[in-house]
Amino acid sequence: MLMPTRTPVIRNAMTIDVEDYFQVSAFAPYIARGDWDSRECRVERNMERILALLAERQVKATFFTLGWIAERYPHLVRAIVEQGHELASHGYGHQRASDLSREAFAEDIGRAKKLLEDLGGRPVLGYRAPSFSIGEGNLWAFDVLREAGYRYSSSVYPIAHDHYGMPDSPRFAYPVRDGLLEVPVTTLRMFNRNLPSSGGGYFRLLPYALSRWMIRQVNAVDQQSAVFYFHPWEIDAEQPRIPGIDGKTRFRHYVNIPRTHGRIAQLLSDFAWGRMDEIFLGA
């Protein structure tokens, strides 16, 4: 008797953008870059919670890490590598790629790559632009990434958004240059548009059951791995409140933060997860 074949379990990519609460792009009009060192840093304690949660759930992830953070907390970089996670680049200073010249972008991503590799002792293959800031106006950034030795980017969000997005770009991993893969964060195609379904503020705002359903649809219908992301500050309900910010920014940043740690814990149990390099590069 022929036994029924079992459908392979699709592994999704769990990714963390390692930055602190005061480095969020939406806070740039309110917090001067020169004031960063005077702010209370909370990334260390939040990263320890994230690493402990991943270890408890036996999940390996990819950490897109700011060079600014790595320089000040080298032990976090070493912990990422020693615990079997992928160390990847988020650039050095959390400047949007769309705000930089080609030369400044090359300096930023090159500086971050060298710093992370020196601290982690591993090649850094992946890059994610702050605020998904590679779009139609700066596609040259892919050439610069390839020249710097990166193997993949996860810098495009194929949605319509007031701060970023290329809604007409491919929804799943594709070669964007010879030797460079673009791996977009995940969307669900419905009603002739791409709906965000991969983390960040949308994950905090939407009911958890809806977020889980969208990822399941991508796995079952598209037969593709999802790419999920979050930030360490999103699990930190005690982070300082930034005074004077507008209502829209306040809502986007703080909505449902007290629930996020529990939701991520549930997400880790509900799906199979892995590192970006292993899933998309076969590394």
Which spans in the chain are helix H?
A: 43-57, 67-72, 74-82, 102-120, 140-148, 200-205, 208-217, 247-254, 257-270, 276
Contacts 24+ apart (CB under 8 A), 245-252: 245/26, 245/27, 245/30, 249/26, 249/27, 252/26, 252/201
The tens place of each residue's pLDDT in the chain, 283 residues long, gives 555 545 578 999 999 999 999 999 999 999 999 999 999 999 999 999 999 999 999 999 999 999 999 999 999 999 999 999 999 999 999 999 999 999 999 999 999 999 999 999 999 999 999 999 999 999 999 999 999 999 999 999 887 665 666 778 899 999 999 999 999 999 998 888 888 888 888 899 999 999 999 999 999 999 999 999 999 999 999 999 999 999 999 999 999 999 999 999 999 999 999 999 999 999 7
Q: What is the pLDDT of residue 167?
A: 77
Consecutive H or E run containing 12:
strand 11-18
Q: In which region does residue 149 sit, left (phi positive, over 0), alpha (psi from -120 to 50) or beta (all else)?
A: left
CATH ID of 12-281, from 3.10.20.440, 3.40.50.720, 3.20.20.370, 2.60.40.10: 3.20.20.370
